[in-house]
Amino acid sequence: MKRLLSKYGIGNNKGVISLYLCMMFAIMISVLLVMIEATRLSAIKQTAECVTDMGTDSLLSEYHKELLSRYGLLFIDTAYEYDEGSLDNLTDHLISYMEFNLSPGKDLVMAGSYRDFTGLSISSVDMVNVSRATDGEGAVFRHMAISYMLDKYGLSLIDNAEDLASITDTYNLGEGDIISENKNAQAEIDDIVFPEIEGVNWDDVDTSNPSENAKKASSKGVLSLVYNKTLSGKYVNNDTLASHRDNVAGAGLISDWDSYDGIQYDLLFNEYILDKFSNLLDIKYDDALDYQVEYILFGSDTDVANLRKTADRLVMIRGASNAIYYATDSGLQAEVRAMAIGLAAVTLAPYLETVYELGLSAALIYAESLYDVAVLLDGGKIPLIKGKGDWNLTLSTALEKLAGTFTGSSSSNKGQDYKDYLRILLYLTPNKDKINRSMNMIEANIRLITGKDNFRLDNCIAGGMVQIIMESSYGYELLIKRSFSYY
């Protein structure tokens, strides 16, 4: 160092420390400025990430309150307070949340004295891959419903439904049609042509069909025979509902969601329907329809039409079950056979014994099935598969009752109730129909709420992805991609 100083004509070491410090300060200041800028860049990235996360969390907090309280569903309604839903509404809300979080205190300080260390501002926001409730013919709605049921109850809830489904499949209860079988059997009796027999005047012989009342009962319709209480007069306009219009398309199920495939999840969705929608014996609210589960089963636009179809279907299930029991009860068979033999003898046509027996057995099973449904609609219970002592009508009683109406009793407490039979009907109904009609029912009910006249489930999203470009006044630009969803 001395040599260096001497070279420049400095003969002593005065000022060496000062020179050294000046050189070091120059280096330190450069390093410090680099560190500050690196800190700024890190802060910009962290701030952008945090502000985006807080913004999407704030969006998810804007769930539709009625959908959650009534149906346990978490969706953002992009219509908000507007007449029509739009992703622009969603984007505007996100921007407002992010801008506030970027400068939460700027309105609390004096103008001109506020300087932001990051200098961040939002350049653009795009919503992509949004998952709408109606996507995949309601697959997103189904996913959210099942997720709710899993969180609240778990799969143990379906134990009873699994047992009923197993019995239904084992005995093919969904394939019987006692209504048609009875009509065909009575028609076969009516079509009998008696042969010409010397000395016999058929006008003097009683050839009437003793099960004629069964044919007349069939023409009246099941509901009028088994239910005599006041019926709901409510109706909906199906044409305005989700499954009957062109819906705004989204991206479908979010990629990392469980698809919930399998019979267990189908049964759990059935339990969701029974839990959230009214039926004849359990009217929960003053909604668009009273018999909502029945609507989900059959999709007609009036309560009466759906209940009528439900009663018809229940008679068919009971007919299939009662036919199984009848085949095991020798006493009932003997009663029918005795009357058939007597009729054949009176008409001097022993060869018609089988025809009469078929008609009488069909009438008996049909009458027993009508009685069963009357009991169910009155709030009573009927065993899905009957055992000894569970049969209610004799042949003569059955033929008499077919002339009038059937009165059930809610005091019958052995077996399955109306809700269990609805559970079976839901099991036998295609998933697509149940999902679409459930969405229809939700839309129709929500629209009764003041200010929700134009509610549509295809405006409701469960999640998506947001792409945000943010700029800093310090010369940086960032692209943030963030997925958001409820599950």
240 pLDDT band (50/70/90 cuts)? very high
* DSSP states along 157-175: GGHHHHHHHHHHHHTTTTS
Distance CA 268, CA 159 (A): 10
pLDDT digits (tens, 9 = 90+) for 200-234: 555 544 555 666 777 777 778 899 999 999 999 99
Q: Which distant-in-sequence residues (6+ apart) come within 8 Å of 399 by Cβ?
A: 210, 211, 213, 214, 363, 367
Q: Looking up tokens 């990629």, which residue turns up?
A: 255
The 8 Å CB, 24+ separation contacts for 79-84 are 79/454, 79/455, 79/456, 79/459, 81/451, 83/454, 84/454, 84/459
Average pLDDT over residues 334-362: 85
Domain boundaries, the chain: 2-135+457-485, 153-446
Q: Is the pTM of this model over 0.85?
A: yes
Instruction: Give the C-alpha separation, 197 to 200, whole Å.
Output: 6
Is residue 306 over pLDDT 60?
yes
Of 288, 283, 313, which Cα lies nearest the Cα of 298? 313
H-run or E-run covering 102: helix 87-102
User: In degrees rounded to 5, what are phi and psi of residue 198?
Assistant: -60, 125
pLDDT digit string, tens, across residues 90-127? 999 999 999 998 887 665 555 555 567 888 999 999 99
Rg from Cα positions in the chain: 38
- Asked whether the beta carbons of 427 and 165 are under 8 A apart, the reply is yes
Q: For residue 9, what is the DSSP state?
A: T
